[in-house]
Structure 1
Amino acid sequence: MSKASQEAYRKIRTGILSGHFPAGQFVPEDEFAQFCGLSRTPVREAIAELVSEMLLQRTGTNRVFVPVWSDEDEEELFTLRAMLEGHCAGRAARFITDEQLAELQKHCDHIDRAIAADGGPDVSGFVEGNRHFHAVILAAAQSERLAQLLRFVVSQIVVHRTAEQYSRADMEQSQRDHRDLVSAFAMRDEAWAAAIANTHIRRAANAYRANRAG
């Protein structure tokens, strides 16, 4: 994408995650362009990328809207992600470098600070640290096919909604999983890493359902 398209992508994505563009709402291209302060050409490129990531959808008449996901949709996404993240972590344990291990430690430290923030956990900081942490694992796995599948399955809306539902205890447990993953990677233990990653995602799904029901 061009620099302008990348800027449009970041702004629209932030608008979706923040709820500025609520689920189920049709959004004309002109409205996106006005929101971004950009012309329609880079906005079109950004919309195409967001559609590929399932953050936006198109109708048969080419109208764009923020998707509404059912409980079944979200459960399926968690199930698929658990399988893919387990495979990803196993590959990462085989190929991860010392530099990437150091990056994971850095992102874990960032997440610790977000959880311990004054006035309560910093959800945005937690989500950002989590995103970077898992991105390093994906890079370490060295599989473009796997990366494409995960980009398709992993929706940041689900990740963000999950974090918003988390209690401090949930966040702390998630962080313990992260630390265990780093240990498994340091030992180059593929089976252990895969098991932790799968459990990590299933735990997130269960916390999401429990807190939402409550």
Structure 2
Amino acid sequence: MSKTDGRSARWTEHRRSRREVLVGAALTALRTAGPDFAVDDVARAAGVSKTVLYRYFTDKDELVDAVLERISSEVLLPRLLGELALERADDRARLHAVIAAFVQLIEEEPALYRFAYAQAGRSGRADLVAATEGQVAEALGMLMTERLAAAGRPTDAAMTWAYGVVGMVQLTAHWWSGTRAVPAADLVEQLADLASGGLTALLPPLPDR
């Protein structure tokens, strides 16, 4: 590698590392200042000036995109997909675990949750909510597809059911996050009952272990 290439590689790594630190500062600002945090809040949390911050992000939109990516990759998806991937005693237990993880996240990270949903549908920007819902629904749909195929049954409805379940849970949880109409534990039980009740009638039974 030439000296020029070496310097370029070091600068690229420095820039990547510095951006990661600044995104972490943005999350701190988000948790303390709320979903409407300002760039000044991020600079203060990072201990730098706004001028330094803008060396690594062209504008606040790019910073917001990086924060949303961090929330998705390190907060939302690991919890939800992790629970979905675990073996459970039955379908209801698996659905209950995923729904409980989502509701717990709303309770533990209210600022991050409100921020993520406030950014949904931004014109010309990545939609974290839609992307995360899509990944969870696709994973659930694959599990249903495998189950139906193993039983020799048609699989074409699997993704419809999966997106239906995920959409139902997301919309209800979002309503609940603003109303707290029932205790969190009751919400999880009610959603698990509804989701598993429908799927039990549609999916072949789990094989005996």
Q: So what's the TM-score if we normalise by structure 2?
A: 0.33
Indicate the structure whose relative CO is greater, using CA pairs within 8 Å and at least 6 residues apart.
1
Q: So what's the TM-score if we normalise by structure 1?
A: 0.32
Bigger Rg over Cα: 2
